[in-house]
Chain A
């Protein structure tokens, strides 16, 4: 079966712009989590969604937001981009809100210039 699909794979944006990243989980998986990965901070938890509801949110500013649709697909949005937002953004899916053996996508590499 198809894995977790993240689009786009690469993105270059200018400071002050906004960006939307997309994640399609494995078919049948209803929980989606987002992580930011940087060399300095490692994998930092952004948010978790299950059945279109945000279950948890990490310690990120309000510029970072997300949502989940009825088909379990998820998007995350970053507004007013800063240079420090340059990172690999990873989406992970799991069967439900009590499954933690995540399947990750290959990520979206965001570069802010």
Chain B
């Protein structure tokens, strides 16, 4: 089915290090991308978004990079904390007759204390 692919299903990072979560998308017509974080037992939580006319956007401890040439998206988390342990999803909004948001399969981030 439709999906936005991820390079790694799991990622382990030492507390205090920076984390980089990658995402590859296939639809060059997608014009808006979002990162979500899902903790156990909860629904996904919006982290940060970026439009296709931007290459980089920064939030609090997070940065999203968009490379449209290779259709690649990444989420960088600075000074990773135990509370960052979760599954991270990238999602893309596709320009169809009616817009819809498609989620990637997710990357599980584990922070080692």
Contacts and interface: CB of A to CB of B under 8 A. Distances in A.
Interface of A: 4, 33, 35, 41-45, 48, 55-56, 58-59, 90, 92, 97-98, 100-107
Contacts, number: 60
Interface string B11-37: 000000000000000000000101010
Interface residues of B, number: 25
B49 interface: yes
Contacts of A100: 32, 34, 49, 93, 99, 101
A72 to B, nearest CB: 18
A42 B3 contact: yes
Q: Which of A100, A101, A105 has the most CB of B within 10 A?
A: A100
A99 to B, nearest CB: 10
A43 B43 contact: no
Interface of B: 1-3, 32, 34, 36, 41-46, 49, 89, 93, 96, 98-106
A43 B49 contact: no
B42 A106 contact: yes
B44 A90 contact: yes
A103 B46 contact: yes
B104 A42 contact: yes
Given A56-B98, A100-B32, A101-B46, 7 more contacts: A42-B89, A42-B104, A56-B96, A58-B100, A59-B1, A106-B42, A107-B43
